[in-house]
Structures are given as structure tokens and as C-alpha cells.
């Protein structure tokens, strides 16, 4: 009996783990279908001879950032710009993504754009694309395969985002004694690691002291809960600065500070990374002090690269998209014109 109950519990655990994978999937399916329909509607008319057919293998639609990225790609590779886009979202499944790329090769597209789910396992399929003489452009994430197998990469530098945020903090608060707490992103994720490293290197040698650092899992709830703990432990007066690895955790921290009777942006300064709409609004409202953008709008650069590569021009192996950064005044100017 005991054994049976134990195995039931284990099953529950397994089921829950499966769920972690599948929730995103269920969410994405709807968006993916939506994405696919628009593309089909766009590419419905038969292409003229000078139309460039591009296969785009997206990771999925796991976040608002990703949706904005997909939209940017679809706009950039539109019919008006001389492209026919075949869009595929892999629901974060590396195998599905590789088979999608293989499909693109079989269809004989002119170029392939990939936002790889994982870094490894790309050698074979990239070699196939190379022997079919189809250039491959990587977007956002990169691969571990040899550089010879793809034409170029365009994406963001998480560490530079951290550096940018840290430099501003050092400039503003570095000369006075500043006690800082950190709301980390999901433990072990690349943006969390790189942003932390970049920020730490930028504030080295200043009077900013990190008194505590915990993970808020990139969520509002997490950010709020961790911030409440900080406030209970150090008090509103014991904390001068919050560095949150994304906007959502920063927004949670705002709630926690307000609930404890403090004024976010005044009593406790807040620096975040991402620049999504809600974050920018909080910046305009004076509740956040500085936001470094993590730009999902990589479409234009990717489209540009595809054209250059097909025209036989030389391109670099890597293009870092410059992230902007906003203080409160700058945010007020741009908030209405921002597409995401």
C-alpha cells in the first residue's frame, strides 16, 4: 500500500513537471496559429521572381518579449519589403525546430533565419543548408556550431545591458554610501547571469554596496515577495537602491515599497532592464528611475543582413543591436511612440 501511494506521489511530481513544459506550449499554440494565418494571408499572392523567400524558425512565443520579436520579424520580412516569409514557431522544442529548418531547405528557400532554442546540435542541419547553398542568419540566441556554417548573427548583449545599468547607478549614486538590493532573474538563465555580471563590473570601486541578492524569477509576484522580505529585514531606510533584472520584478518591488509606506523612486531608487510598456509607464510616473532596454525589434537588421548576404556583400559574423536606455525625462518623450 505504502509503495503504491509513494508512486502516486511521484507520478504527481512527474505530471507537474510535464505541465511546466506544456503550459507554455498551450499558450503558444494559439499565438502561433495566429502568426501563421497572418503570414499566409501576407504570402498568399504568388511571388514575383525578385521576391526573396525566407524561412524563419522562431523558438516559440513564451513571453511578451518573444511576441514583439516575432511581430518585428514579420513586419520586416513583409511582402512590401520584397520578401515572402515562411514562419515556424517550434514551441521551444529543439527537435521540432531542426526539422522545420530541414523543411525550409527542402522547400528551397532563398535564406533561412533561425532564433535557436538551444545552442547545441546544429552542426548537421547547418551543413545541409550550406551544401544546398542557402545562407543562414541567426537571430537573438546563438549556436555552438562552427562560424563557417552560418553567415551572420544579430542579437543583444545582456552583459552590456547590465553594464549600462551599472554605469548609470555608479554615476548617480556611486559617490555617496548606497545600500543596494538585487532582484535576480531566474537562477541560471543567461540574462540573469550576464546582467548581474555586467552590473557588478560597472559598480566596482564605487560606494554602492550590494547588501542582498535573491531571485524573483522574473515575475511580479516574485519581485514583490522578495522585496517585502528585504524591507522587513533592512527597513525602508536601510535600502537606497533596487536593481531588478527585469521590469516585472521592478513593478512588484514598487508594490511592496508602496505597501510599506515608502515612495518608490524617491525613498528607494529603482533600476530595471527590459523597457516593456508597463515599466516605461512606471518610469514616466517617477516610480522607476532608470530602465535599460532589451530590444526585441531585431527584424529590420535581420532583413538587412539577408539582403546583403544574398547580394554577395561581406558581413560580420556578429552584430550587437545597441540597446537604448531611458531616464524619466527620456521615457516621457518616447512612451507614446514605442511599438511594444
Residue ranges in contact with another protein by CB under 8 A = 1, 5, 8-9, 11-13, 15-16, 18-20, 22-24, 26-27, 29-31, 61-64, 67, 184, 187-188, 212-215, 217, 219-222, 224-226, 228-230, 232-234, 248, 251-252, 255, 259-261, 278
Q: Is the dihedral of CA 273, 279, 281, 286 positive or negative?
A: negative
To another protein, the closest distance from the beta carbon of 248 in angstroms equals 7
Residue 317 grid coordinates: 559574423
Give the position of cell 547588501.
211
Cα–Cα dist 247/277, whole Å: 9
Give the position of cell 552560418.
150
For another protein, the closer of residues 127 and 236 by Cβ is: 236
Secondary structure (DSSP) of 33-52? HHHHHHHHHHT-SPPPTTPE
For another protein, the closer of residues 20 and 311 by Cβ is: 20
For another protein, the closer of residues 14 and 207 by Cβ is: 14
To another protein, the closest distance from the beta carbon of 110 in angstroms equals 31
Closest CA to 237 of 183, 311, 179: 179
The torsion angle over the Cα atoms of residues 158, 160, 162 and 165, rounded to 10 degrees, is -130
To another protein, the closest distance from the beta carbon of 222 in angstroms equals 8
DSSP letter, residue 157:
-
For another protein, the closer of residues 5 and 311 by Cβ is: 5
Instruction: Let me know: does 137 contact 162? Beta carbons within 8 Å.
Output: no
To another protein, the closest distance from the beta carbon of 285 in angstroms equals 11
Between CA 185 and CA 16, with CA 253 as vertex, the angle to 5 degrees is: 50
To another protein, the closest distance from the beta carbon of 149 in angstroms equals 33
Closest CA to 272 of 234, 223, 201, 340: 223
For another protein, the closer of residues 212 and 304 by Cβ is: 212
- Angle, helices 94-107/123-131, rounded to nearest 10 degrees: 10
For another protein, the closer of residues 127 and 260 by Cβ is: 260
For another protein, the closer of residues 17 and 47 by Cβ is: 17
To another protein, the closest distance from the beta carbon of 290 in angstroms equals 21
To another protein, the closest distance from the beta carbon of 22 in angstroms equals 5
The torsion angle over the Cα atoms of residues 70, 75, 81 and 82, rounded to 10 degrees, is 50
To another protein, the closest distance from the beta carbon of 208 in angstroms equals 18
For another protein, the closer of residues 84 and 184 by Cβ is: 184
CA end-to-end distance (rounded Å), the chain: 55
Cα–Cα dist 251/232, whole Å: 18
Amino acid at each position: 500500500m505504502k509503495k503504491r501511494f509513494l508512486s502516486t506521489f511521484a507520478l504527481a511530481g512527474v505530471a507537474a513537471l510535464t505541465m511546466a513544459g506544456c503550459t507554455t506550449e498551450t499558450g503558444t499554440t494559439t499565438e502561433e496559429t495566429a502568426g501563421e494565418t497572418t503570414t499566409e494571408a501576407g504570402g498568399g499572392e504568388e511571388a514575383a521572381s525578385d521576391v526573396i523567400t525566407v524561412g524563419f524558425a522562431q523558438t516559440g512565443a513564451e513571453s511578451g518579449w518573444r511576441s514583439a520579436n516575432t511581430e518585428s520579424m514579420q513586419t520586416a520580412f513583409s511582402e512590401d519589403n520584397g520578401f515572402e516569409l515562411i514562419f515556424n514557431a517550434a514551441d521551444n522544442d529543439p527537435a521540432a525546430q531542426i526539422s522545420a529548418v530541414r523543411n525550409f531547405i527542402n522547400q528551397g528557400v532563398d535564406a533561412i533565419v533561425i532564433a535557436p532554442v538551444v545552442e547545441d546540435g546544429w552542426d548537421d542541419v547547418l551543413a545541409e543548408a550550406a551544401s544546398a547553398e542557402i545562407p543562414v542568419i541567426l537571430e537573438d540566441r546563438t549556436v555552438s556550431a562552427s562560424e563557417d556554417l552560418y553567415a551572420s548573427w544579430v542579437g543583444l548583449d545582456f552583459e552590456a545591458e547590465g553594464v549600462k545599468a551599472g554605469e548609470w547607478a555608479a554615476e548617480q549614486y556611486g559617490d555617496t554610501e548606497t545600500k543596494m538590493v538585487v532582484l535576480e532573474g531566474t537562477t541560471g538563465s543567461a540574462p540573469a547571469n550576464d546582467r548581474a555580471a555586467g552590473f557588478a563590473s560597472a559598480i566596482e570601486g564605487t560606494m554602492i554596496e550590494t547588501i542582498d541578492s535573491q531571485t524573483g524569477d522574473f515575475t511580479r509576484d516574485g519581485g514583490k515577495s522578495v522585496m517585502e522580505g528585504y524591507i522587513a529585514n533592512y527597513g525602508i531606510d536601510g535600502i537606497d537602491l533596487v536593481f531588478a533584472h527585469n521590469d516585472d520584478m521592478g513593478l512588484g518591488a514598487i508594490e511592496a515599497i508602496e505597501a510599506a509606506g515608502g515612495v518608490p523612486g524617491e525613498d528607494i531608487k529603482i533600476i530595471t532592464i527590459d523597457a516593456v510598456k508597463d515599466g516605461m509607464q512606471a518610469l514616466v510616473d517617477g516610480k522607476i528611475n532608470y530602465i535599460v532596454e532589451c530590444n526585441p525589434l531585431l527584424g529590420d537588421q535581420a532583413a538587412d543582413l539577408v539582403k546583403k548576404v544574398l547580394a554577395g556583400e561581406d558581413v560580420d559574423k556578429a552584430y550587437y543591436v545597441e540597446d537604448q536606455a531611458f531616464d524619466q525625462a527620456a521615457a516621457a518623450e518616447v512612451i507614446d511612440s514605442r511599438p511594444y
